[in-house]
């Protein structure tokens, strides 16, 4: 190893530790569920997973994955266009399209890959991409890869500025407006009715990454687009199979048949990276089927979220308002957020603190994520830990 390089890496890591922003991995030894066993902390209630509907350890979902492993083996050993396309990919992709109300869809090994494969494929010289400043990192990187396109950013959910940016790029073609459906650090929803309206005015297409909205928003869990009654009015939807829909891995792009065929032909992650493992396709398919036949899960998630929010407010916390299952509590400095999440972990509640540079300086937060699988008892125990810790660290007044 190059000694100077090693010393640089160690120095950089030391400064993260001094700043209180160094991440320590924690090791779980049981399936993802409302309560897990953690090597470092014992039995804990999880309020930081994306397992919104509790499908990660749902027996139908797990069994489907096992059957997939038996039927198709461990992997595809190929990219899609060579010999990595199995019949289950087609079944899953037709199912996703039907679920979201689009013509077609295409799976990727992660939504990260879907986003990094999308923009560079559809935006060439002369095109433009207009993006919300708080969009997910995978959108930001995906947009960067479309290096020939004109790229503009608007202030978070600022529709006046979105209009100005669209005006500035109106000679470009195509024009793409891209937004998260549910913003992951704020838990708020994109103003999709306005965005779709503006896009129409300027002849732009709309891409919504609904990774935190799928399975969560809308009456039947079809996402933020269903929530706003805009089904069929959004051109492109990207999303993950790694959150509410079973939580394994995998992502997708859903849209018109011509768009999906174009991605099959030219999207670089499709051409140069392995296909989604068949076993994951099987468990994800079972997760969508399960959600379809148990739409009440979405209502339970909403009730749990309302219950936990009300509990936090009763104790004296002031979470950011919002309609999704993400409940952020702004606490100020990064190191403080980490102190609080460490104290909660000692009390058996696993919830993550986020600070700079993931969120702007001074707006570090504890991000609570609710699951339909949480029981009242688990939520009450978690709330009692929040109360004790809040008093101990002085954000709720002294005990």
Q: Catalytic residue positions?
A: 184, 212, 243
For 13-55, strand residue ranges (E) read: 35-38, 42-46
Q: Which is nearer to ligand PLP, 108 or 228 (CB)?
A: 108
Nearer to ligand PLP, 109 or 349 (CB): 109
**Given 251, 311, 328, 390, the residue binding ligand PLP (CB under 6 A):** 251
Shortest Cβ 244–ligand PLP spacing (Å): 11
Minimum CB–partner distance for residue 240 and ligand PLP (Å): 3
Per CB under 6 A, the list member of 58, 211, 279, 341 interacting with ligand PLP is: 211
Q: What is the CA radius of gyration of the chain?
A: 22
Nearer to ligand PLP, 237 or 385 (CB): 237
Cβ closest to ligand PLP, residue 51 vs residue 184? 184
- Asked if 321 contacts 389 with a C-beta cutoff of 8 angstroms, the reply is no
CA distances from 66 to 29, 74, 251, 311 (A): 19, 10, 20, 39
The neighbour count for residue 58, using CB atoms within 10 Å, is 24
Query: What is the pattern of x (binds ligand PLP, CB under 6 A) and - over residues 132-171?
Result: ----x-x---------------------------------
**Which residue of 46, 111, 175, 372 would you call a contact of ligand PLP, by CB under 6 A?**
111
Burial pattern 216-235, b for ≥16 Cβ within 10 A else e, equals: bbbeebbbbbbbbebeebbb
| Long-range Cβ contacts of 82-89 (<8 Å, 24+ apart) | 84/274, 84/275, 85/275, 86/275, 86/278, 86/281, 88/278, 88/281, 88/282, 88/285, 89/275, 89/276, 89/278, 89/281
Q: Pattern of binders to ligand PLP over 63-102, x per CB under 6 A?
A: ----------------------------------------
Positions touching ligand PLP (CB under 6 A) are: 110-112, 136, 138, 180, 184, 209, 211-212, 240, 242, 251
């Amino acid at each position: 190893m190059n000694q100077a390089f090693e010393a640089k890496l160690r120095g950089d890591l030391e400064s993260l530790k001094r700043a209180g922003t160094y991440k320590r991995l924690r090791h779980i030894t049981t399936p993802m569920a409302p309560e897990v066993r953690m090597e470092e902390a014992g039995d804990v209630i999880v309020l930081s997973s994306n397992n919104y509907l509790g499908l990660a350890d749902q027996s139908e979902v797990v069994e489907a994955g096992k059957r997939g492993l038996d039927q198709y083996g461990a992997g595809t050993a190929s990219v899609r266009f060579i010999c990595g396309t199995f019949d289950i990919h087609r079944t899953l992709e037709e199912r996703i399209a039907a679920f979201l109300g689009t013509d077609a869809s295409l799976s990727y090994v992660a939504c990260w890959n879907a986003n990094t494969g999308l923009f560079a494929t559809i935006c060439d010289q002369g095109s433009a991409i207009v993006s919300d400043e708080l969009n997910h990192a995978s959108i930001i990187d995906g947009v960067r890869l479309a290096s020939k396109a004109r790229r503009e950013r608007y202030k978070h959910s600022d529709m006046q500025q979105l209009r100005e940016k669209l005006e500035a790029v109106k000679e470009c073609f195509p024009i793409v407006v891209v937004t998260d459906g549910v913003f992951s650090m704020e838990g708020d929803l994109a103003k999709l009715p306005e965005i779709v309206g503006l896009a129409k005015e300027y002849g732009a297409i709309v891409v919504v990454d609904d990774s935190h909205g799928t399975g969560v928003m809308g009456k039947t869990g079809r996402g933020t687009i269903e929530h706003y009654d805009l089904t069929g009015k959004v051109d492109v939807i990207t999303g993950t199979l790694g959150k509410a829909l079973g939580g394994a891995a995998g992502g997708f792009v859903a849209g018109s048949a011509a768009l999906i065929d174009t991605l099959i032909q030219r999207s670089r992650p499709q051409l140069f990276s392995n296909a989604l493992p068949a076993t994951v396709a099987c468990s994800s398919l079972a997760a969508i089927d399960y959600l379809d036949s148990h739409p009440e899960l979405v209502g339970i998630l909403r009730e749990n979220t309302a219950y936990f929010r009300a509990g936090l407010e009763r104790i004296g916390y002031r979470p950011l308002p919002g309609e999704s299952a993400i409940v952020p509590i702004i606490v100020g400095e990064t190191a403080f957020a980490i102190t609080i999440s460490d104290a909660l972990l000692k009390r058996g509640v696993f919830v993550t603190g986020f600070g700079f540079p993931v969120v702007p300086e001074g707006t570090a937060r504890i991000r609570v994520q609710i699951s339909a699988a949480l029981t009242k008892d688990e939520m009450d125990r978690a709330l009692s830990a929040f109360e004790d810790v809040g008093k101990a660290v002085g954000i709720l007044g002294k005990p």
